[in-house]
Structure 1
């Protein structure tokens, strides 16, 4: 029988310190490319070798941080209590999921940009994107209509891409609530088009 080891307390503290330091650095940087492993190690008060042992490389650290920060949203939208839980109708959960993702990327703009621009990792190939796409696709299958839920999920998630969010909120200066309202309207239009088709209508 294999006994699962719990992380050592100092390892847990170091991980929390690294994530907090990276959060701060990404939040205040001019560009995500400016934030290096050396910067994060220094801000967290740990050795650079510690980061590489724990995360492999900068991309690994970014993926781990991104996943940790998204976990509360994933739990709330996927398994959490009402109004976002499984017992809530899909037409309500879909816009809630997308709004949560948009707000996360508004609040963590440079972190999200860092993940989407990390080396050869296309944002569409990341584990996190696949999880969100699968959840959204499965929800769309529960919405009346026969439009392709696979493609519709990709199209709706594209509206929350970090580079688009950064462009609209940064260069275009659109206020947070206006962006949320626009996304809600777009989502409602997509869901409305699906509902109007009915479960047996053609494309």
Structure 2
């Protein structure tokens, strides 16, 4: 019997794409203005987007799936920049400049998307360090750190530096302690410099 030709991949319907865009825009707005990320429910998002809850669950699976999709949408420009050679975040940038630039980009993203980042980090299950988004940042940062001569603990250093950009810390300092964006950026930059600066040998 002749082999059946492969079926062409079906493209999402136009109305499904419109619904997805409406849902992501509604969720983005709700997380931006909420007092607590836990207060944003799937019912809230469906109502704000003007779609049924069944459409929401069919498109994203559950609340965690929606949060991940929204996070990826918001993070896409930064992720592209880390892959571009001409970008300060890109692999062509010398590591002593790239590491602070990467961390500054993560921090700014967390500040600008505080409640979304809190919601995402709250979906990490037993270990937030096993989450895909964390592993991606850690591996990118570790690769840059391991290009720095004399630095032999790139994996641990990447964990330690990323801890300074955790969403709960950002929320505490910006949301509760009222630290400004520029103050946080300056303090993170100074911390990264202290971690990376060459150490004089002990006598």
Distance 2:87 2:75 in 1: 19
Q: Which moved more, 1:119-128 or 1:162-171?
A: 119-128
How far residue 16 of structure 1 moved from its aligned partner, in angstroms, is: 1.2
| 3-state SS in 2 of match to 1:118 | coil
Hey, what does 1:164 align to over in structure 2?
169
Hey, what does 1:150 align to over in structure 2?
155
Distance 1:81 1:123 in 2: 31
Q: Render the CA deviation track for 1:62-118: whole Å, top value 9, x for unaligned.
A: 111111211111111233533332221111111111111111111111101111112
Q: TM-score, normalised by structure 1?
A: 0.90
Q: How does 1:32-71 map to 2 (within 5 A)?
A: 32-71=37-76
How far residue 121 of structure 1 moved from its aligned partner, in angstroms, is: 5.6
Contact 1:137–1:150 (Cα < 8 Å) also in 2 = yes
The answer on 1:24 being equivalent to 2:29 is: yes
From 11, 15, 38, the equivalent of 1:6 is: 11
Contact 1:78–1:135 (Cα < 8 Å) also in 2 = no
Unaligned runs of 5+ in 2: 1-5
* Paired residues, number: 196
How far residue 140 of structure 1 moved from its aligned partner, in angstroms, is: 0.4
Unaligned runs of 5+ in 1: none
Larger Rg: 2
Q: Render the CA deviation track for 1:31-71: whole Å, top value 9, x for unaligned.
A: 11100000001101111111111111101111111112111
| 3-state SS in 2 of match to 1:124 | helix
